[in-house]
Amino acid sequence: MVKQFLTSRRTGFYFRVLQEGAVGARDTLELVSRDDNNVKVADITQLYVREQDNPELLHRTAQLEALPESWCNYFNTL
């Protein structure tokens, strides 16, 4: 399943949950911040799967505050 997900390149988008709670069908979602590094989920997938020789993107990705430290460390070692 993971291989199919990565091969499809249909990574979609993800939200960070700041406060746990219920979300209803007509509730709105609000963008409260956007990282200045301009790295998309698809970029991270590309780095992980195929494009590890892109030092500029690796650097920007390793700077993302939203990524867990282990992911940043991984991208710093490529």
- Domain residue extents for the chain: 33-78
* Angle CA 33–9–38, to nearest 5: 25
Within its chain, how far is the Cα of 62 from the centroid?
11
Q: In whole numbers, what is the pLDDT of the chain averaged over residues?
A: 81
**What confidence tens digit (pLDDT) does each residue in 21-51 have?**
998 999 988 888 788 888 888 888 888 777 7
Which of 3-24 are b and which e, b meaning 16 or more Cβ less than 10 Å from the residue's Cβ? eeeeeeeeeeeeeeeeeeeeee
Q: In the prediction, which pLDDT does 2 show?
A: 65
Which segments of 9-50 does DSSP mark as H helices, in order? Answer: 41-49
pTM of the model: 0.61
Residue 78 contacts residue 52 (beta carbons within 8 Å)? yes
